[in-house]
């Protein structure tokens, strides 16, 4: 894949197209990671329509690889609406999330919408370390607790 991917990237660069874009949908987050470059405060965010308008522009500009990040994406109540919109525009979508709000139903919907990658940050297998970084007691356990992990694993498996 790398050779063909290199060709795509070279082609996009030659055409001066933004082939890959990270779109931070919100400042809000339900963790307080010590290393995060955001202050986690609510500075306001684009409306659903405004995000969709940007996505239209990105599709027209030639963006293929789209990373949805934040903040924590799933704090947006319109997250799945935006994801569905992005997939209808045939973006290749990757999500960066802490997964605290992803249970079986959300994982199934993410899979069914054709998201290619989901990146979840786990800072340690030791809860005291992970939780010290996220500043949210129980955050690792929340990811590991049944049925969430097993159901997420089943839902994401294609």
Partner 1 sequence: MTDLYIARGDRLAARTLASETVILRPDDSGLYVLNEIGTILWDAADGTTPLATIVEQVICPRFDVDAKTALHDAIEFVQGLRDHHILNVSDRPVTSHAAAAPPAETAS
Among 21, 33, 59, 67, binds partner 1 (CB under 8 A): 59
Task: Give the Cβ contact number of residue 140 at 10 Å.
Answer: 21
Minimum Å gap between C-beta 59 and partner 1 is 5
Question: Which span sits near partner 1 by CB under 8 A: 30-38, 90-98, 131-139, 147-155?
Answer: 90-98
Cβ nearer to partner 1, comparing 114 with 127 = 114
Cβ nearer to partner 1, comparing 5 with 129 = 5
Residues 22-41 that bind partner 1 (CB under 8 A): none
Kindly state whether residue 52 participates in binding partner 1, applying the rule CB under 8 A.
Answer: no
Tokens of 55: 């996505």
Question: Which span sits near partner 1 by CB under 8 A: 68-76, 86-94, 95-103, 143-151?
Answer: 86-94
Residues 99-158 that bind partner 1 (CB under 8 A): 114-116, 158
Minimum Å gap between C-beta 118 and partner 1 is 11
How big is the site for partner 1, counted in residues (CB under 8 A)?
28
Kindly state whether residue 12 participates in binding partner 1, applying the rule CB under 8 A.
Answer: yes
CB 87 within 8 A of CB 50: no
Backbone angles phi, psi at 22, to 5 degrees: -100, 125
């Amino acid at each position: 894949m790398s050779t063909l991917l290199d060709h795509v990237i070279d082609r996009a660069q030659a055409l001066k197209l933004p082939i890959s874009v990270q779109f931070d949908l919100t400042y809000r987050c339900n963790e307080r990671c010590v290393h995060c470059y955001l202050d986690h405060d609510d500075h306001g965010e684009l409306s659903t329509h405004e995000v969709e308008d940007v996505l239209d522009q990105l599709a027209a500009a030639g963006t293929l690889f789209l990373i949805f990040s934040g903040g924590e994406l799933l704090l947006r109540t319109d997250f799945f609406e935006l994801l569905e919109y992005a997939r209808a525009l045939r973006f290749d979508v990757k999500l960066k999330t802490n997964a605290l709000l992803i249970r079986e139903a959300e994982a199934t919907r993410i899979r069914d919408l054709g998201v290619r990658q989901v990146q979840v940050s786990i800072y340690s297998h030791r809860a005291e370390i992970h939780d010290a970084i996220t500043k949210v007691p129980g955050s690792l356990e929340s990811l590991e607790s049944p049925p969430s992990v097993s159901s997420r694993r089943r839902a994401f498996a294609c």
